[in-house]
Each structure stands twice: as C-alpha cells, then as structure tokens.
C-alpha cells in the first residue's frame, strides 16, 4: 500500500515539479479546486499592474493600438489553439462560455435550417452543465420555430437519441459533476453519420488533457479560461469553429468588433473574416490580458505529460480514499477507466456538503455539487503527490471524528 | 476675449478642481478623450493588486463568497443607480453594451409580441452608434418574424417615424458623433403615446450629465462604464429595466447567473428576481471590480455640478476654436444649445483625421470619427480650463503651420 513517503518520492521524481513555482499558492492550503478556479500564476500581479498603471493610466486610449488591446482576442486565441488541437487564426478569446454557446448554437441551427429544415432537435445530457441547457432553452424559446431539447440521462443513451430529427448535439467533453469523458472522435462520428452538427464544451477538458478538435472533426467548440487554463476569476471564454463552416456561419450577436471594417462606422453589419465574426462588444481588457499569464505556462510542457501526471494523481487519490476511508460510505462516481475520465474525481456521500465544508476549514479545498457530490480537481501544473496523501488524511480524520456533524458545516451558503 | 490667464483664474475658482488629484494622468498630456476611455482613478492600481494577489491568489475559489464576487454585479449596480436616476436593486453591471442591448431589445419585442403582435418596426437613427444597429440587425435576422429597422437621418424626423407599426424606439441619449442630446422625457412620451417601448443607450451621457430614468418614464436603459464612469478599458456594461416591466420580461441569454437558484444546478431555467434575470455567464471579476474605483469618485460631488463645469469647458472650447481658428475651415457639428448637447464637442474638417493625429503627437488627445469629425470630450472630473486653452493653442499651431500635411499623420491606422 502506498505510504506518505512513497508520495514524497513521487514528487521528488516528478519531471513537472518545477512548474509549481510559477504559481502563487497560499500557505496551509491544499488546492484541489483548479477545475473550478485555477490558481494564480505569479506573473499575474505584475501583468495586472502593467495593464492598469501603464497601459490604461499612461497609454490611455492610445493603448488600443500601442498595447494592441484590439488584437488580444485573436492573439491569445492563437496561444490557446495548440492546447485544443486548433490552428492559429481559428480561436478568439471573448465574452463568456454561455454567450459563446449562444453564438455557435445559433450558427449551427441556421446552417441546418438552410440544409435540413426538418431537423428540430437539440440533443444533450440532463447532467450537462446547467448554463449550457439554459442557453439552449432560451434560444429555442426565442426562435419559436419548433426546436426542442432532447436530454439523455446517460451517455450510453446517446446513440439512440441522435437521429434524423437531430439538428445539433451539444455536449460537455468532460462532465462537470461525474468527470465522465466522452470519446470526442467517436461521438462526433456518430453525430455526423446522422447528419447533425457537434458542439463541444471544453470547460473541464482544455488544459487538463490532450485535445484535437481537427482530428475529431468537431464542428464547434467553446470553453472557459478560468479553470485548468488559470486565466483568473471569470476571465473571458473562447470559441472555435471548424474552418470548413466559418465562412458560412452567421451569428446573431453581431456587434461592432465582429464587423469587417469596425471603424468605418457603417450603419449596416458586414461580418469580418473567419472567426473574428464571433466577436461582439468591447472586451474587459484587464481580465482578458491576464489570460496570457496562464497560457504562457503551458508552453513549458506538453499536454500528454500533464495528462499522465493528472491520471497518476487521480489514481492515487482513488486508491487512498478507497483503501483508507472504505468504512465511511464514499462511493466513486467518476469512471475508473482512464479513457473515460477527465482530471477531477468525484465521490458521493449523503453528508457530502458538510464534509466538504470541514475539509475547506482544514485547508483542503475541493468543492461540492448537488446532489451529494464531493469533487476534487487534480491540476498537474501545481498539485503534488504528497498533497493527495495529506488531503486523504484530512478526509479520514473528518470521517473518523465525525467532525462534519458540527452545525457550522451544515449551514448551506452559496458555493461555486 | 478670453485669455490663458482667464482660464487659470477659472481653474483657481473651480470648486471641483480637487477631484483631479483622484486620477493618474500622464505628464505632458491633455486628455480630451474621456468620452471614449475614461482616465484611471489612482485607486485602481491598488484595487487591481488586491483582487489579483489577495482575492484570487490567496482566497482562490472561496472569494466568490468571502470577497463577494457573486454580488458584484448588483452591488456595483447599486452604486451606479443614483447617477442615472435609478434605484437600488434596479441595475446590474455585466457583459457588454452590445450584449445588454440584445437582452433588452429581445425583452421589449417579446412584450410587444404578446400585447401588440402587429408592431414590427424598430425605430432608430442612422447615426446611432453602429454596434446598436448591428445588434438590432442580428436580432431581426434571427427572429425571422418580419421585424425591420426604420432609421431616421435626423432627430427631427422621429415624430413622423414613430407610429402604430412601431414596437420599439432605440436611441442613444447622446449621439457618439455629433454630441446631440435627446430630450429623454419628451421622446419617451412620444414613444409611449404611440404604444411603443423606449430603449435608451446611455454610453455618452451617464457620468456626464444628470439623468433621471424614472422621471423620464423610460422602459429600458443600457450603457458602458469605461467612458465617463472611468471603469477601465472594456469594463463591463450595465442594464436597467423599469420595475413595472421587470417581472414580465424574458430575455434569451438565460445563463446560470440569472437563475433563481443558481447552485441547485437544475436542468430547467427559472429566472431570478427582478433585474438579476439579466445576468448570464460568469463575469470578468478583475475588470468588474475596478468599476468601483470610478463610481466611488462620483460620491464626492453631484451630477449637476459636473454638468455645469462640463458645459463651461465645452463653451470655452467652442468660443476659442471659433475665435482663434476661424480661418481654417472648422465647422461646429455639435448643437450650441446646452439642452441639446452632451459633454463632447465635435468639429468637422476635411483633414480631420490628420489634424487629430498631429494633436495626439503633441500630447492633445482627442479622437477622430468618420467622416471628417474631430471629437473632443470634456470630463469635468479631471479636465482643467487651462487645458482647453492649451489644446486650442496646439490646434491653432497645427493649422497655421499645416503640420497635418506631414505624411505620418495621413497614414490611416485603426482608431477607437
């Protein structure tokens, strides 16, 4: 059985161990929530000061050109592209994941409306991240043209749910709750065989595992930069569209940054080239600029090495929880198979909420998701093997002492 | 005739003069572009460091609660509310002006569709800020239900254009190019008499002049925080809806932050109370938090005093340009009447672009708008009377020397 010393030895032999020093992590904290909000790259404080003091304060309006604020969505998109198997010029970082989903879902439905107007079904999962479902609901309600959502409760039901009525299949690559990882290539093949279009939400996979949108022949992808990409709280999201679809696409959030001649100030909209037509309004520059600090760190390694460490950390966590905490009724929710899981691990427990609060109180930060899910993210850029040991030790002590029964851990407050 | 010494005397007697010290302005610059990007409040550097280093870096995911990131859109909305004649709980700061316009225009059309389905016309001005027109174009194209834009070329044509077919009238309170100021109360009365709904874009009026959305009986308002409100580059925008309409409204960008029980993670959307249903996705916290530094400055004065100084600065500028530069073919585009103008002044000149470049090169920062418009913003929080003198002196020297003929000033590059 693995010991704490074994974990220390794993850290000593970890070729990625040095990357941790690029992050500022608070003392006394084991951070297992990088799947919700990534830790702060050390470079971010200096970059924020540069943007606010120099670019805004000194450069003022001139910085739209001199600091290339205008080019940020595309320039940072180019830095993100290799992490998701996209190419330069194919990605922009802009707006929020919800807004970007609205754009690509609108674009996809418009194409189907032209090519196959009878297709009225949007297929997704009932356990998809809720905002994705809400956006699809808002869009179908708005269009009033007979579109409807068809939600499956289990990934196994997808083949039966995708049929000749299906316009779009909209899935999260990694499920936010269970950690289930879809086979993007296989599912996309199934979608295309049935004449539908595939939208992938990469929120829980970009920066956590190797991705290849081109190899998977995906149609659209969106995602956020504030989780595994370490862009900062609420940092702008991204959008990718397959080059073969780009010139065809129209999207309704046609703001001035997506215009082909923005400063001609023409009264009629004329979409810009390629992915730039997915830009809309003026972006929050300070938050957007900080995304670069997170992306730059990925250039020092590669996604396969990160994936290997992520799986090793998660395997260790599963092994230790199941062996050391076996008496306490924790049930693994995440698939064991490597090919079927992302970079977080979820256990179910009737007292999940209180246990997570007790862990946070001891400096072990995971998070809780309804119903009864304890969620732990393993971010190989900065998580140590010994932290996995220490986190499980804290969990064990809480379970043994029944510390979770303390009333302060039972009080529900808003969590993210 | 006014002299430079007179201007120095005006500054010496200016009761608002001390507010300038709350801003960081670069040496050697006369900044007359606060109507495009407001100057940096001194407090913003420290606030940015606090958000990035302490709230993100130390607090990590916990800051959604402990630093109340969740509450920022509403809390900052409450600080903005008095500047636009709204009340606490009626405004949220979120997303971009373009996105917020899409929300309220969708909401307004939905109400009309229920109450008066024959109304298919959206009235606006051909000189409205282009992104507003592009958003309306995208929305009507998306709906495919017969909606169309009816654009007037002159505000005088509005009464004839608003009729029994009109669903919505969508106007910028102050025109971005000419500086023309609509009578919000009178126009809204006309809109309502004709059974339509009124959307006001306050981008060029909020923070520049007293506003009273309730007294004007407006229906919807949107605007940005990065101009006169000094929120920082691309800082998030705001949205206000008249309380009498709020519970009725639906908007299609129904993301998880607008849900009544966000963290219940329910698969169906259930809109939150009042204005919170206009929230959508996760906001860019660093940019959003900095909005507070700008808003806090307004608490030290009141909008009427700012308006008085703004008009005095602009009057001085018009007087000096017209008297000192009269031979050089500059034509005032902005209405002279105080009640008909905002806080910027525009002149037309065939060489407008090159003249603006030559001015910027001499540290006098105004901006250029097609076609041929030299635009100068007067931000009473930090602009001095003597700067108006010095700016006109620089303009005079450029015109006298024909410095604008230099090839480097003729080269067009992107401007904002």
Q: Is B56 within the bounds of a domain?
A: no
Q: Is B14 annotated as a binding residue?
A: no
Burial of A266 (0-12, 13-18, 19+ CB in 10 A): middle
Single residue among A279, A297, A315 that ends a domain in this structure: A297
* Contacts A62 to B, Cβ<8 Å: 360, 365
A375 annotated active-site: yes
Which of A 14-43 lie inside 8 A of B, CB atoms? 24, 26, 29, 31, 33, 36-37, 39-40
**Percentage of chain B lying above the pLDDT 70 cut:** 99
Q: Is B168 within the bounds of a domain?
A: yes
Categorize the per-residue pLDDT at B264 as very low, low, confident or very high, splitting at 50, 70 and 90: confident
What is the average per-residue pLDDT within A377-384? 98
Q: Do both B76 and B111 map to the same domain? A: yes
pLDDT of residue A415: 46
Q: Is A56 within the bounds of a domain?
A: no
* CATH code, domain carrying A267: 3.40.640.10
Q: Do both A117 and A266 map to the same domain? A: yes
Domain coverage including residue A401: 2-39+301-407
* CATH code, domain carrying B395: 3.90.1150.10
Q: Do both B137 and B188 map to the same domain? A: yes
Q: Which residue is closest to B367 within chain A, CA to CA? A: A61
Single residue among A297, A320, A351 that ends a domain in this structure: A297
Q: Do both B242 and B389 map to the same domain? A: no
| A414 or A26: which leads in pLDDT | A26
Question: Is the predicted pLDDT of residue B416 greater than 70, yes or no?
Answer: no
Q: Is B74 within the bounds of a domain?
A: yes
Q: How far apart are CA A271 and CA A294, in angstroms?
A: 30
pLDDT of residue B183: 98
Tens digit of each residue's pLDDT (9 = 90 or more) over B173-202: 999 999 999 999 999 999 999 999 999 999
Inter-chain residue contact B98 with A142, CB threshold 8 Å = no
Residue ranges of E strands in B244-334: 331-332
Inter-chain residue contact A414 with B263, CB threshold 8 Å = yes
Mean pLDDT of chain A: 96
Q: Is A414 within the bounds of a domain?
A: no
**Percentage of chain A lying above the pLDDT 90 cut:** 94
Which stretches within A116-260 are classed as H helix? 130-143, 158-161, 184-193, 213-216, 243-246
Q: Which residue is closest to A234 within chain B, CA to CA? A: B284
Q: Do both B326 and B383 map to the same domain? A: yes
A63 shares contact with chain B (CB less than 8 Å): yes
Please give the full DSSP string across B343-370, using - where no structure is assigned.
Answer: SEEEEE-TTHHHHHHHHHHTTEE-EEET
Q: Do both A243 and A269 map to the same domain? A: yes
Which of B138, B232, B236 is nearest residue A254 as measured by Cβ atoms? B138
Q: Is A50 within the bounds of a domain?
A: no
Q: Do both B203 and B92 map to the same domain? A: yes
Q: What's the Cα-to-Cα distance from B121 to each of A225, B136, B148, B163, rounded to whole Å?
A: 39, 11, 5, 9
Categorize the per-residue pLDDT at A414 as very low, low, confident or very high, splitting at 50, 70 and 90: low
Inter-chain residue contact B267 with A133, CB threshold 8 Å = yes
Question: Is the predicted pLDDT of residue A87 greater than 80, yes or no?
Answer: yes
Q: How far apart are CA B226 and CA B80, in angstroms?
A: 13
Identify whether A36 is preceded by a cis peptide bond (ω within 30 of 0). Answer: no
A201 annotated active-site: yes
Find the helix or strand (DSSP H, E) in which A287 lies: helix A285-298
pLDDT of residue B80: 98
Q: Do both B351 and B398 map to the same domain? A: yes
* Contacts B53 to A, Cβ<8 Å: 24, 40, 45
Q: Is A46 within the bounds of a domain?
A: no
* Contacts B253 to A, Cβ<8 Å: 98-99, 102, 135, 138
Single residue among B245, B277, B297 that ends a domain in this structure: B297
Q: Do both A293 and A328 map to the same domain? A: no
pTM above 0.90, yes or no: yes
- Which residues have CB under 8 Å from A14's CB, separation 6+? A309, A384, A385
Nearest-CA distance from A69 to chain B in Å?
A: 9
What is the average per-residue pLDDT within A262-268? 89
Mutate to test the interface with B, among A103, A131, A353, A367 (most CBs of B within 10 A): A131
Categorize the per-residue pLDDT at B412 as very low, low, confident or very high, splitting at 50, 70 and 90: confident
pLDDT of residue B414: 55
Place of tokens 């395997």: A315
Tens digit of each residue's pLDDT (9 = 90 or more) over A185-242: 999 999 999 999 999 999 999 999 999 999 999 999 999 999 999 999 999 999 999 9
A163 shares contact with chain B (CB less than 8 Å): no
Which of A33, A69, A97 is nearest residue B233 as measured by Cβ atoms? A69
ipTM: 0.97
Question: Is the predicted pLDDT of residue B158 greater than 70, yes or no?
Answer: yes
Tens digit of each residue's pLDDT (9 = 90 or more) over B294-319: 999 999 999 999 999 999 999 999 99
Strand pairing partners for A30?
Answer: A364
Inter-chain residue contact B95 with A97, CB threshold 8 Å = no
Categorize the per-residue pLDDT at B415 as very low, low, confident or very high, splitting at 50, 70 and 90: very low
Q: Do both B35 and B94 map to the same domain? A: no
Q: Is A49 within the bounds of a domain?
A: no
Tens digit of each residue's pLDDT (9 = 90 or more) over A138-193: 999 999 999 999 999 999 999 999 999 999 999 999 999 999 999 999 999 999 99
Bind-site residues of A for pyridoxal 5'-phosphate = 97-98, 129-132, 201, 204, 226, 256, 282
B201 shares contact with chain A (CB less than 8 Å): no
Q: Do both B185 and B207 map to the same domain? A: yes
Inter-chain residue contact A253 with B135, CB threshold 8 Å = yes
Question: Is the predicted pLDDT of residue B114 greater than 60, yes or no?
Answer: yes
Q: Is B255 helix (H, G, I), strand (E, B) or coil?
A: coil
Worst-scoring range by mean pLDDT, A71-80, A218-227, A268-277, A386-395?
A: A268-277
Strand pairing partners for A166?
Answer: A121
Q: Do both B12 and B157 map to the same domain? A: no
Which of B52, B237, B252 is nearest residue A44 as measured by Cβ atoms? B52
pLDDT of residue A248: 79
Domain count, chain A: 2
Q: How far apart are CA A14 and CA A382, in angstroms?
A: 11
A129 annotated active-site: yes
Question: Is the predicted pLDDT of residue B221 greater than 90, yes or no?
Answer: yes
Mutate to test the interface with B, among A59, A96, A379 (most CBs of B within 10 A): A96
- Report, as residue numbers or ranges, the catalytic residues of B: 129, 201, 226-227, 375
Which of A 268-287 lie inside 8 A of B, CB atoms? 268-269, 280-287
Mean pLDDT of chain B: 96
């Amino acid at each position: 059985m693995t010991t704490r010393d074994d974990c220390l030895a794993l850290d000593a032999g970890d070729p990625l161990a040095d990357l941790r020093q690029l992050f500022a992590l608070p003392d006394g904290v084991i951070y297992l929530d990088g799947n919700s909000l990534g830790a702060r790259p050390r470079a971010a404080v200096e970059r924020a000061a540069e943007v606010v003091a120099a670019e805004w304060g000194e450069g003022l309006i001139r910085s739209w050109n001199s600091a290339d604020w205008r080019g940020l969505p595309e320039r940072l998109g180019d830095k993100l592209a290799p992490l998701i198997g996209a190419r330069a010029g194919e990605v922009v970082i802009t707006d929020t994941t919800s807004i970007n989903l609205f754009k690509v879902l609108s674009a996809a439905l418009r194409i189907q409306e032209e090519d196959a107007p009878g297709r009225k079904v949007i297929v997704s999962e009932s356990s998809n991240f809720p905002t994705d479902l809400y956006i699809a609901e808002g869009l179908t309600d708005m269009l009033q043209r007979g579109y409807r959502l068809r939600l499956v409760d289990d990934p196994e039901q997808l083949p039966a749910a995708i049929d000749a009525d299906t316009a779009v299949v909209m899935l999260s690559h990694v499920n936010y709750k269970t950690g289930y990882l879809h086979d993007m290539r296989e599912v996309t093949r199934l979608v295309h065989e049935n004449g539908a279009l595939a939208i992938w939400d990469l929120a829980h996979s970009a920066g956590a595992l190797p991705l290849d949108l081109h190899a998977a022949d995906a149609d659209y992808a969106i995602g956020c930069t504030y989780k595994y990409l370490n862009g900062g709280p609420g940092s702008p999201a991204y959008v990718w569209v397959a080059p073969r679809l780009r010139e065809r696409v129209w999207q309704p959030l046609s703001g001035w940054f997506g215009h082909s001649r923005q400063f001609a100030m023409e009264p009629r909209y004329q979409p810009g080239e390629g992915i730039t037509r997915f830009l809309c309004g003026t972006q929050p520059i300070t938050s957007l600029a900080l995304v670069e600090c997170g992306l730059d760190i990925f250039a020092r390694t590669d996604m396969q090495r990160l994936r290997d460490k992520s799986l090793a950390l998660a395997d260790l966590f599963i092994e230790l929880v199941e062996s050391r905490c076996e008496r306490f009724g924790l049930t693994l929710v995440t698939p064991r198979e490597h090919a079927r899981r992302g970079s977080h691990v979820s256990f179910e427990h009737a007292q999940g909420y209180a246990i997570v609060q007790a862990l946070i109180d001891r400096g072990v930060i995971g998070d809780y998701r309804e119903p009864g899910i304890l969620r732990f993210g393993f971010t190989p850029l900065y998580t140590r093997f010994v932290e996995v040991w220490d986190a499980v030790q804290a969990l064990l002590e809480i379970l043994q002492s029944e510390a979770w029964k303390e009333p302060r851990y039972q009080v529900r407050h808003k969590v993210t």
